[in-house]
Structure 1
Amino acid sequence: MTAYLAVTRATALAYLRDRTSVIFTFAFPLLFLVVFGLIFHGQRVDGGLSYINYIAPGVLSWGIGNAAVFGVAFTLMHWRRDDLLRLIWRTPTPLGSVLGARYLVALGTGLVQALLFVVVALTAFGLRVHSGWPLALPVLVLGTTAFAALGLLVGTFTDTPEAVAAVANCLMVPMAFLSGAFYPIDLMPGWLRALSRVLPLRYFDEGVTDAFGGRGGVGTPLLDCAALVGFTVLFAVAAGRLFRWSNRT
């Protein structure tokens, strides 16, 4: 077994042993789906689009992004606080393998979240999925990657669990509304719609919505994918410049 696979296995097992975190990771988006589904049952937005077809991709995107940010940020903060990064620095295992293992766990978690969420939305709330739904897969992968990179950035400059929670919530909660994930973006003032274009969740949400709804053909989700790649590079470069092996340095 290679070092990368060994670290990935150990990271996955450590994540699965935290049962409370695992349960809330998957239950949190479903809770929002149930609440919004019951409140807005039968309503339509965006030129006749069923509300469940509007809100489900937004809640799904936000739930996956939220889990990726918190999971990666908490892991990196704990590794640095407990001086595990300094130990890794002294071993032959490259840092990229360790961070890559945590990313793979985040990606696997996001895909399982998506599968569970869509099954519940289809069976319990009447979500309609267009035949072009496979276009959502690259959006889900790249969206998870972008928010994992954001989590890497958050975990790089925070030193305590309280700081991680505060910073991550300040980023993710407003983003849920300003990006159009929870609230129709067409109802926002023009300056807020313009501001939403600098938020990665907008492209994550719109990419999944367009793929599930069959809007815009192939090109629209691909443009969202390109935007998510750009955010990934931006966050990763910023995290690399701010990276610290230990809180003592």
Structure 2
Amino acid sequence: MNALGQLMLMRLRMLLRQPEVLFWTFLFPLVTSVMLGLAFRNDTLGPVRVAVAEGPGAQALVEKLKDVPELSAGIESEAAARRRLARGQLALVLLPGETPEALVDPSQQDGRTARLLVARALAAAPPDADASLKSTPVSEPGNRYIDFLIPGLLGLSLMSNSLWVVAGSLVSMRGGRLLKRLSATPMRRSHFFLSFMLARSVFALVEVLFFCAFARWLFGVPMFGSYATLTLVGLVGSLCFAALGVLVSIRARSEESMGGLVNLVSMPMMFLSGVFFASDNFPSWLQPVIALLPLTAVNDSLRAVMLDGAGLLSLATPMAVLAAWTVLPLVLALRLFRWT
């Protein structure tokens, strides 16, 4: 074999020995296809989901809508229905009254279909019933897709930065033989790991505040809850993902293998945990697993504070999930860590 062939063969062997190359070439397309296939699977189209706001005449409207098999209608409070409309869980909210009013998010594809189906249901009502329908696009802050998206992007940023920064720093120190030198000191491993986690949390504080200011200034994203509660959620989330980053660094022996492991940890959560679309799109059998993911807990908590005005006490369950994902990886890292 000539020199060019030998060089090409050498380069191919080097590529195959890099985990990140194998991840992006084979595993990433596979994971992406499976996740998006589950979220937007080509099942038989179900009924379009519509909510009728509580009030006089609500039950009568529901009875009319039930005559259209393509609609699934129920009665909810107006505030809850508006929130579900903003999160893409409803296609339309119908406000009862002398002239029923349909609230539709213009950014949702099912909105126009739902409005036409509701109008058809009301038009098919008895002649003495009011068949008119007023349509109102909903785009005020708190009920837009961008309001749903921003907390998810903040959670994704906290996860990605914590994993890459903490794991990358530890792997780099191992590659530079700095960890071997530190083994000669009386420093505790727990203090060593906590220093990385706490330093990352300080940076996360700036990250949360900057993200909120940017979203408020550019998109007018509201804040119905407390900035202190939101900041605390961000700090707890960054500690959790930093602990995962510490555990990843234990397994990774090089920066190349570290990249593959970080992607393996973060990519499924990026799709499953409701960053870009509601996690309700996934099958019901997968929902218990999704609820236990740390990014799901962070995203749900951030949205609850920003859009629903939730207090810290109402976030007990997601905070417990984050606490478990912080303690367990840290305990495993302390048991498995070696200075050399």
- Alignment TM class, shorter chain as reference: 0.7 to 0.9
Cross-structure match for 1:62 = 156
Are the counterparts in 1 of residues 226 and 309 from structure 2 also a CA contact under 8 Å? no
What are the Cα deviations for residues 48-72 of structure 1, in whole angstroms up to 9, with x where unaligned?
7321221111110110111111111
180-189 or 230-239: bigger deviation? 180-189
Higher helix share: 1
Higher strand share: 2
Question: How do 1:1-249 residues align onto structure 2 when only pairs under 5 Å count?
Answer: 44-45=86-87, 46=89, 49-214=143-308, 216-246=310-340
CA deviation after TM superposition for structure 1 residue 78, in Å: 1.7
Are the counterparts in 2 of residues 106 and 144 from structure 1 also a CA contact under 8 Å? yes
Measure, in 1, the Cα distance between the counterparts of 2:266 and 2:256. Answer: 15
Measure, in 1, the Cα distance between the counterparts of 2:226 and 2:144. Answer: 18
Identity %: 29
CA deviation after TM superposition for structure 1 residue 215, in Å: 5.1
What are the Cα deviations for residues 37-96 of structure 1, in whole angstroms up to 9, with x where unaligned?
xxxxxx932457321221111110110111111111111112222221221121233333
Are the counterparts in 1 of residues 243 and 330 from structure 2 also a CA contact under 8 Å? yes
Measure, in 1, the Cα distance between the counterparts of 2:206 and 2:310. Answer: 26
Structure 1 moving runs of 4+ over 4 Å = none
What are the Cα deviations for residues 93-138 of structure 1, in whole angstroms up to 9, with x where unaligned?
3333332322222112211111111111101112011143422222
Q: Could you state the TM-score of these two structures normalised by the residue count of structure 1? A: 0.76
Q: Unpaired runs of 5+ in structure 2?
A: 1-84, 91-104, 106-142
Q: Could you state the TM-score of these two structures normalised by the residue count of structure 2? A: 0.56
Relative to structure 1, the CA distance from residue 96 to residue 234 in structure 2 (aligned partners, 3 Å threshold; closer, same or farther) is closer
Measure, in 1, the Cα distance between the counterparts of 2:259 and 2:206. Answer: 23
Are the counterparts in 1 of residues 208 and 231 from structure 2 also a CA contact under 8 Å? no
- Aligned residue identity for 1:159: R
CA deviation after TM superposition for structure 1 residue 217, in Å: 4.3
Measure, in 2, the Cα distance between the counterparts of 1:123 and 1:97. Answer: 39
SS at match of 2:223: coil
Measure, in 1, the Cα distance between the counterparts of 2:320 and 2:289. Answer: 18
Measure, in 1, the Cα distance between the counterparts of 2:312 and 2:238. Answer: 20
216-225 or 43-52: bigger deviation? 43-52
SS at match of 1:108: helix
Give the RMSD, CA atoms, in angstroms.
1.9
Measure, in 2, the Cα distance between the counterparts of 1:147 and 1:66. Answer: 8
Measure, in 1, the Cα distance between the counterparts of 2:197 and 2:310. Answer: 30
- Aligned residue identity for 2:153: V
- Aligned residue identity for 1:145: L
Relative to structure 1, the CA distance from residue 93 to residue 242 in structure 2 (aligned partners, 3 Å threshold; closer, same or farther) is closer
The count of corresponding residues between Structure 1 and Structure 2 is: 204
